[in-house]
Amino acid sequence: MSAAEGPLVVGVDTSTQSTKALVVDAATGQVVASGQAPHTVSSGAGRESDPRQWWDALREALHQCGDAAREAAAVSVGGQQHGLVTLDARGEPVRPALLWNDVRSAPQARRLIEELGGPKGWAERTGSVPSASFTVTKWAWLAEHEPEAVRAVKAVRLPHDYLTERLTGEGTTDRGDASGTGWWASGTEAYDEETLARVGLDPALLPRLVRPGEVAGTVRDGHDLPFSKGTLVAAGTGDNAAAALGLGLRPGVPVMSLGTSGTVYAVSRHRFADPTGTVAGFADARGDWLPLACTLNCTLAVDRVAALVGLDREAVEPGTGLTLLPYLDGERTPNLPRSSGLLHGLRHDTTAGQLLQAAYDGAVHSLLGALDLVLDADADPSAPLLLIGGGARGKAWQQTVRRLSGRPVQIPEARELVALGAAAQAAGLLTGEDAAAVARRWKTSAGPVLDAVERDEATLARISGVLSDAAPLLERGPGSD
């Protein structure tokens, strides 16, 4: 480890599959140490994780960072959005957390939309029309299916809130992550009493909202992490808002994130309210807005198809006429929570590589369909699309995004942008800077730009046509009458 020029900070990314920690020089942005540890997700009827795994994984990740973590002056946690963490009076989980990709609450989502003003009313009040991913629908599902668990709940948290509270002993959250719950009103930037009353959730169970740049607390005694008592703890935020910080994102610059889920988003000066539900009008972690569209099926679905046909994920072959809608876990964009994957156009001469390419095409098509809605009218349509996430390094992903978007694509060299964004947030506590300005000083978005190629309109039109024709079947889901 080279000598640091400034104080050290720690940025944490607690994601669906693992928790990562970076120790970063606040002056230069140099990553001086890193660690990562996995956690598990149930594969039964829903998608759940024991939150205590996240703490154990954080402890292991920080242990891998060695002495550098002990020198940290501030820490911040970025985490997977929407997850419902329920705690008892001792701060222990009442049950495993319901994760963002648990779609069992689709009936509750439909009912809540109908009961509280319809899609337009929800969009105007909260900025978003809730889907089965949102925390409010998960709470409604829990109240309906596990009332005994609900009676034991003394605190309701999001995943990043849970780790922050174990660090500080105080229940806090931030506007970026709170905006994905469905019970935070984007117009007033406060919890929405009408929504909470409808789902029977006492606002006293919710964490305190911390303003951008405000200290959430300090590390308390009695923990088993390498931080000293009194180390500053930032508010933290949701994973997409943290990645936006990590890129130092300016308004109007489009981002496509290719991870377990796929997202497209951009920072905006304007509050969004899309009554179609395609774009979620989230807040960012700074004071602006982060309109975002999310697909449940992205790299995980493509990797599953690659495994089914026995190919490396890069072994794609060009082909025409084959369409795969890779909705292996239901889908959020388009809003088809009960759907499954659908293959159309299979022939005797279809190759495994063409089938794999069709999976890439289907995943990217879903994301690009929302991109124009995410961007403000004054955004530059020729600006490079920033490609981030685990899939961004894959050549097949890069080429598919270029071919179907018709835009130049920039691949930031910096990795672990969620953890870097959290680190920039922690650094801002020490320097008084805006966290995005810290990341721009670190030059985190720098990377090669791949030139635009002609947009493949034929493939886009074919996929849209299959989706339209199959919509009634997809909406009913597998096994329906």
For the annotated catalytic residues, the residue numbers are 239
Of the candidates 177, 175, 233, the residue with the CA atom closest to the CA atom of residue 428: 233
* Gap between the Cα atoms of 22 and 75, Å rounded: 10
Q: Which residue's entry shows tokens 């156009």?
A: 345
CA-to-CA distance for 92 and 86, rounded, in angstroms? Answer: 8
Q: How far is CA 409 from the centre of its chain?
A: 21
* Cβ proximity of 18 and 37 under 8 Å: yes
Residue 357 pairs in a beta bridge with none
Question: Under a CB-based contact definition with an 8 Å cutoff, are residues 423 and 76 in contact?
Answer: yes
Length of the chain: 481
Look at strands 215-218 and 323-325 and give their pairing: unpaired
Q: Please, what sign has the CA dihedral across residues 169, 179, 288, 116?
A: negative
| Pairing label, strands 72-79, 8-14 | parallel
Closest CA to 442 of 1, 20, 24: 24
Q: Would strands 155-157 and 85-87 be described as parallel, antiparallel, or unpaired?
A: antiparallel
Alpha carbon distance, N-terminus to C-terminus of the chain: 62
What does the DSSP assignment read for 231-266?
-EEE--EEHHHHHHHHHTPPTT--EEEESSSEEEE-
Question: CA 396 to CA 299: how far, in whole Å?
Answer: 11
Site of tokens 């305190």: 208
